[in-house]
A = this chain, B = another copy of it.
Amino acid sequence: MTALLNPTENLTHLGAALRTAFDGPYAAERARAREELPAEHLLRDPGLTMEQARAWTLSRLGELQESGFGAAGVPQSSGDAGDPLAAVMTFEALAYGDLSVTIKSGVQFGLFGGAVANLGTAWHHDTFLPQITSLRLLGCFAMTELGHGSDVASLETTITYLPDTDEFEVHSPTPAATKAYIGNAACHGTMAAVFGQLMVDGQGHGVHTVLVPIRNDDGRDLPGVTTGDQGHKGGLQGVDNGTIRFDHVRVKREMLLDRYGRVDADGRYSSPIESPNRRFFTMLGTLVRGRVCVSAGGLVAARRGLSIATRYALQRRQFPAAGRPGGVLLLDYLTHQRRLLPLVARAYALGFAQNELIQALVHVQGGGEHSDREQRELETRAAGLKAMSTWFANEALQASREACGGAGYLAENQLTGMRGDADVFATFEGDNTVLLQLVTKALVTDYRQLWGELDRAGVVQATAKQVGETVVEWTAAGVLMERLVANTRRRPDDLAMIDRAWQAWAFTERERHSLESLARRMRAAARSQGDRFEAFNRLGDHVQFVARAHLERVVLEAFVDGIAACQDPEARAVLEKLCSLYALSSIDADRGWFLEHNRISSTRSKALGEQLNLLCRELRPHALPLVEGMGVPEGWLGATLLEE
């Protein structure tokens, strides 16, 4: 793999303006990352064996750490509050390069370091953070078990307090309790943050986390610890995922990460959070940054793939045609435009939404004041956007691969490697299907609270319509969107399809109506006799639909806000079209729903396809600036096919 240098880019005026708009509130941070990220060993040689890939990834981590692209944002001591923005920006920057490095960095600093920082207290911070941030102590985030992935509350590992010796005993009672898919566990980790059921004096206090040394410095398992190597995977060969099993392993009492639950020297358990349920979700809530980061990583990978495929389509010619004896440029084929440009539009849309997610994270975790509701909304938003972004990444990378034909299949063109790496993003840090369930659950909970209050007030029947609009006001919180929709309520079909007001109305209707009808069906299910599980289970596809409808609206809103913030008139005009391409593609994909619910006429629905074609044709001349705007320096793409 040739060395790649930091880019000196010659962007078009429009490309530069789009990039400024797209980088949004973080334009300065992102520009700095593009300048300062050490790019000498950005991409990994696909010919490395797994062992070599792991060693390369580890050494690359050290190199990045020395350049300030490692533990940035992770606090160094008990007096340090950390910097969530720096952490997310660093993760995002690393995603320009090999994703094994990105994920291994995330395991070490984000998950392991994050567990110590967020779940531990001063002694843990001062004792371990300096070693973690300097890479002297490599660690594991040992949550998932072979038998328990999404269902963290059911973890079987036990953390039992032993009063006689003032120690905790960590134990895996069954094979299913074996920790699995744990990064750093197969080779490099010498300590693990182990999640398990805390037992004190015969009483269970739910899931807590304890630090357990697992390996000697010479790499051998410590007594009572059995690690396993999970070997080759669909990608991320540089990350050493493995299993850990504990056989009555003892650690000092101090090793419990005790911010949300501690055991004192007299063996008494206490917690600042009374409710075990709330305590559990508070602890899990600290994971939110991981989801924000994975979403960012997926989006960067998608932008890298789309940049390669679109640039290739701007240089590759296919069949000769009338007036084009040298062959037609791939991107001049309408079918090719329809394959790539809506994905570019969605990449922008999700990127704007990601910017808002980062802002919410910084608000909640930045050390200032924030409400419980804001924390909860951040968690819901992060879960949902992680699902949307990572599924999108896989779709965009696959489409990019196919759009490059046989060349796209060669490892030297980067697409299959990224596709293999990003694949697992759809199921780690929360399975996407389960995450969408969480999103809908949060929406329905809020909806029910509202409904319940109105119900108690005796106003439900009389003002059913108004209830609907109240819900919309909560769900469609953005001022711009609200104004757009408000202007449109009367006769939506009078508006042009490219009118943002009509699109906003359609997105809002899809969300509101599907949420209301789900809430109705859930109330009926709750009243039903018989198998309660089955009664709710039958709503499964409706639950997924509501989450998507909600998130699409959130994303459109972010796009609208992003355009409003754009100062350059030319960039703004292109973004307006791109936003329509995103919005109408989303409506087109669900046009069955819009027709069924009489939210769109047959005539308008039939015209959608032509409108999408037209938008693609109008955006086609701006394809290069649009790629530049996505922010991946051309020199970092590392795809041989662009050199021909």
Residues of A in contact with B (beta carbons under 8 Å apart):
46-47, 49-50, 144, 146, 149-151, 154, 175, 180-181, 230-235, 318-324, 327-328, 332-335, 338-339, 394, 398, 401-402, 405-406, 408-412, 415-417, 419-420, 423-424, 426-428, 431-433, 531-533, 537-538, 540-541, 543-544, 588, 591-592, 595-598, 602, 605-606, 609, 613, 644
Contacts and interface: CB of A to CB of B under 8 A. Distances in A.
Contact of A338 (B234, B327, B423, B541): B541
Contacts of A537: 332-334
6 tightest Cβ-Cβ pairs between the two chains A and B: A234-B416, A232-B411, A334-B540, A591-B592, A335-B540, A595-B595
A335 to B, nearest CB: 4
A417 B234 CA distance: 7
A321 B180 CA distance: 24
A230 B538 CA distance: 50
Given A537-B333, A541-B609, A406 B433 contact: no
A231 B420 CA distance: 17
A423 B334 CA distance: 23
Contact of A402 (B405, B427, B533, B606): B427
A533 B178 CA distance: 62
Contacts of A394: 398
A406 B321 CA distance: 48
A405 B427 contact: yes
Nearest to A153: B319
Nearest to A433: B335
Nearest to A543: B335
A406 B540 contact: no
Nearest to A180: B406
A538 B614 CA distance: 9
Contacts of A318: 149-151
Contacts of A233: 409-411, 416
| Most central of A394, A433, A537 by chain B CB within 10 Å | A537
Contact of A409 (B322, B408, B424, B598): B424
A46 B322 CA distance: 49
Contacts of A412: 230-232
A290 to B, nearest CB: 15
Contacts of A605: 592, 595-596
Nearest to A606: B596
Contacts of A595: 591-592, 595-596, 602, 605
Contacts of A427: 402, 405-406, 408-409
22 contacts: A46-B232, A47-B231, A49-B49, A144-B406, A151-B319, A232-B410, A234-B401, A234-B419, A323-B532, A334-B541, A338-B541, A394-B398, A401-B423, A405-B427, A406-B424, A406-B427, A408-B427, A409-B424, A538-B613, A591-B592, A591-B595, A595-B602
Contacts of A596: 591, 595, 602, 605-606
A431 B405 contact: yes
Contact of A154 (B154, B327, B432, B532): B327
A419 B422 CA distance: 14
A420 B533 contact: no
| Most central of A151, A338, A598 by chain B CB within 10 Å | A151
Nearest to A419: B234
A613 B327 contact: no
A524 B533 CA distance: 57
Contacts of A235: 409, 416
B428 A406 contact: yes
A6 to B, nearest CB: 26
B416 A540 contact: no
A151 B592 CA distance: 37
A423 B230 CA distance: 24
A308 to B, nearest CB: 14
Nearest to A609: B541
A532 to B, nearest CB: 5
B411 A333 contact: no
Contacts of A175: 644
Contacts of A408: 427
| Most central of A47, A234, A320 by chain B CB within 10 Å | A234
A146 B232 contact: no
Nearest to A432: B402
| Most central of A319, A322, A412, A592 by chain B CB within 10 Å | A592
Nearest to A328: B533
Given A232-B47, A416-B235, A538-B334, A322 B410 contact: no
A339 to B, nearest CB: 8
Nearest to A605: B596
Contacts of A428: 406
Contacts of A406: 144, 149, 180-181, 424, 427-428
Nearest to A338: B541
| Most central of A338, A420, A598 by chain B CB within 10 Å | A420
A328 B531 CA distance: 13
